[in-house]
Amino acid sequence: MAAMPYLLLIIEPAGQRQDRGLDAGREVYDRMRTYADGLKARGVLLGTNSLKSEGARLTVQDGRQTVVDGPFTEAKELVGGYFLLDVETRAEALALAAECPAAEWATVEVRETGPCYE
């Protein structure tokens, strides 16, 4: 069976980073980097990054762009980062997600990548 990309999305409660504080935030970040290093050593990590809390939402309707800058007050959660994995099965992706330290304080959403028309 050929390997396939799976995306682990780290879905965090909004405000969690601010509530955690700087020292605890650095500790969490170090744990996540160690996790990423382990995935890289196994040869399954294609990419990873943390995402800032603020963003922008863009839509184009009738040729007109609308941009709304965040943070978005209605959001109860945010995508805090991702890991792009190259594994053979969903079960393997789920097993790696279970090892992710973020599963202790956030939700790790597992998605297979592929064409959007299927």
Q: What is the pTM of this model?
A: 0.85
Longest dimension (CA), the chain: 48
Q: Which domains does the chain have, with CATH numbers?
A: 4-53+75-112 (3.30.70.1060)
From residue 16, how far is each of 9, 13, 72 by CA, in Å? 16, 6, 14
* Amino acid residing at 31: R
Q: Residue 2: its pLDDT value, please?
A: 67
Residues of the chain with pLDDT under 50: none
CA dihedral 25, 27, 32, 34 (to 10 degrees): 160
DSSP 102: G
Instruction: Give the strand pairing for 56-61 and 64-69.
Output: antiparallel
